[in-house]
Structure 1
């Protein structure tokens, strides 16, 4: 049977060169819910010249942006804005960037807050305690901790280039008006829960639904109250929503925010959960996100060898950790170097091991360059 354009629109909006536009205009493509900001708190700025920085085979940042389709690049050191660039055709400081699975890391932050508020009683609670409608599915006894660490044992390897894979059916349902909840509920068990890592957008989506049930609020409202109104965000953010009603945010991948505001969240994580001296995220939750639950090089086929994983964050061998989204989205935090980097991109494909490896090499080089005191002020 021929698939019509409406069902394939997910493929169309992610294809270059269209994705340079769609990744900054998702609110023109899908319904959305606003994440309202509070009082803006502009960054202190201390511009740095990173023109002398090199990585890999002598590449510089201009090479990085060209070779890895960068659209936005923001660097903080000690909470100060030291560098930003917007190579993308439609990117600018006020543009809300499509962050894809960096949304998962932001979702984890909110889960940590809800746990501190006792809205979620504990990480060992099962999904069905908050979503009784998941009883009888493979997710009913999966715990919050197992969702966070991607060890639910539900579903198969997440691949984008297999037409009938779970993630492709999920994507088509989200954009084309299908039943997203039923697709997730129909996922089958493939391993004993808690046994092995398997990167899963379904796990994150279920976690987002658990959070909404526990708080009694949509992700957007909770994010506004607990994050955007507290971190000094400069602009409202938004989640885009499914076409089918009742519409739902994709906690696993539909957050859109400016690169600067995403960097603010990274700074909270670098500062052990504080923003302007006030507690936003529990310190123990920040630490849980830094310490790998799965060590670097142990993730198997659903993770690159230079990553470990913890709490919906990808961990690195030098103590840094990062949110990562398809098509090249990064929220990179190096607490030791006091460096936070946001890189948004418009890769031609969802996954690209070579571009990812090069990006991580470059981000490490930026952090090392600034940490070593080679900050040359302009």
Structure 2
């Protein structure tokens, strides 16, 4: 999820930057385009209302390993060339990069202009994967009955919409059957109307109510930020907590985060976080999130996310969610999907959370390797850079695994 075309930067800011009416009309495009997006992606708290996800009184250590990863020697093959990680970072506009193994940082760098260990990065749709973790926790606690529960069981205001009979499982697998392919280039597409409602104070509920059912639930993959927004609403209704409040209590504080995070909120009231795209956090705390998933859901000796939920996130048995089967629904051919995570197939069972403009949380449970990469791509989606990212991160995992052998 991105907020770009209609992002409201204050008039004072626009005037200070320069340029009169043209700048005012095009401020959203500028804010999300290079190089200005490096500032935007670390300053969303200046642009939108927010709600904090609070750190605990004492952070759980995330130590640096005595023997750091020697990244200078890592190479990967892409587009007929042998490239270094330094070339990878330049090519894919990396702003921050962290590699951890078995709970220790083995590499950390911040190439971005405004990046630092304390900067809070806009994670876009990587938020969806965190929302999935919260759902798994709520199910284990009995706050949500089952993944087969219907949306209408929790959100009666959606009972007479296309979403009413959709199950939570359908939403988690991006198989609700609601809406067409998420296409930012279509002016009146539901995702564009959703974005406009979020950023200008319109009715998000009316956008969701008006999004049509196009196929039977559970039959086909169709990537949808709106689906995950409904998941976030369902979680709030089931737990009686805001998304930020529940994340504070059930994830951020138990995992020992070292910094507060935040969700930006819709401008319209009642303001709500976007379960599909508004979490902002430091790279180190995002690494902590990945370490939980790489450790089978554990934080130390505590099972924080159910182990079966983590296993479910590594891959699905459903044919329409396999690697290579997502292209008709807006997915790249080198990914599968399961439980709000992108899956990678193969024997390793690696998986990743992704966000537009090049955000990634890569998890290889076999070697307990976690890679965090934030980026500032010019375009929200870039298939070539995305594929290069997969190839490069697989090379990093191979280097990490080989030094452990």
- TM-score, normalised with respect to structure 1: 0.96
Across the aligned residues of Structure 1 and Structure 2, the Cα RMSD in angstroms comes to 1.5
* Cα deviation code 1:279-318 (max 9, x no counterpart): 1100010001012341111112311111010000000023
3-state SS of 1:373 partner: helix
Distance across 2 between alignment mates of 1:355 and 1:68:
6
> Quick one: which of 62, 65, 74 aligns to 1:43?
62
Query: Are 2:326 and 1:295 aligned?
Result: no
2:403 corresponds to which residue?
A: 373
Query: Are 2:21 and 1:11 aligned?
Result: no
Aligned pairs for 1:50-65 within 5 A: 50-56=71-77, 57-65=81-89
Query: Are 2:162 and 1:135 aligned?
Result: no
Distance across 2 between alignment mates of 1:272 and 1:41:
18
Distance across 2 between alignment mates of 1:269 and 1:13:
33
1:163 corresponds to which residue?
A: 187
Distance across 2 between alignment mates of 1:74 and 1:10:
29
1:13 CA drift (Å): 2.5
Number of equivalent positions: 373
> Quick one: which of 236, 259, 272 aligns to 1:212?
236
2:387 corresponds to which residue?
A: 357
Structure 1 residues 5 and 311 mapped into 2: Cα distance closer, same or farther (>3 Å)?
closer
Query: Are 2:324 and 1:305 aligned?
Result: no
Structure 1 residues 8 and 170 mapped into 2: Cα distance closer, same or farther (>3 Å)?
farther
1:10 CA drift (Å): 4.2
Q: Would you say the 8 A contact 2:259–2:285 is kept in 1?
A: yes
* Cα deviation code 1:153-186 (max 9, x no counterpart): 0000101122222111111211111111111111
* Cα deviation code 1:311-334 (max 9, x no counterpart): 000000231100000000001000
**Where does the alignment leave 5 or more consecutive residues of structure 1 unmatched?**
none
Structure 1 residues 361 and 4 mapped into 2: Cα distance closer, same or farther (>3 Å)?
closer
3-state SS of 2:75 partner: coil
1:246 corresponds to which residue?
A: 270
- TM-score, normalised with respect to structure 2: 0.90
Q: Would you say the 8 A contact 1:337–1:368 is kept in 2?
A: no
Distance across 2 between alignment mates of 1:10 and 1:214:
35
Q: Would you say the 8 A contact 2:151–2:163 is kept in 1?
A: yes
Distance across 1 between alignment mates of 2:93 and 2:176:
34
Structure 1 residues 220 and 97 mapped into 2: Cα distance closer, same or farther (>3 Å)?
same
After TM superposition, the runs of 4+ consecutive aligned structure 1 residues lying more than 3 A away are 3-12
Q: Would you say the 8 A contact 1:320–1:335 is kept in 2?
A: yes
Aligned pairs for 1:318-337 within 5 A: 318=346, 319-337=349-367
1:276 CA drift (Å): 1.7
3-state SS of 1:234 partner: coil
Query: Are 2:43 and 1:25 aligned?
Result: yes
Distance across 1 between alignment mates of 2:284 and 2:126:
14
Q: Would you say the 8 A contact 1:155–1:187 is kept in 2?
A: yes
Distance across 1 between alignment mates of 2:30 and 2:168:
34
**Where does the alignment leave 5 or more consecutive residues of structure 2 unmatched?**
9-24
1:195 corresponds to which residue?
A: 219
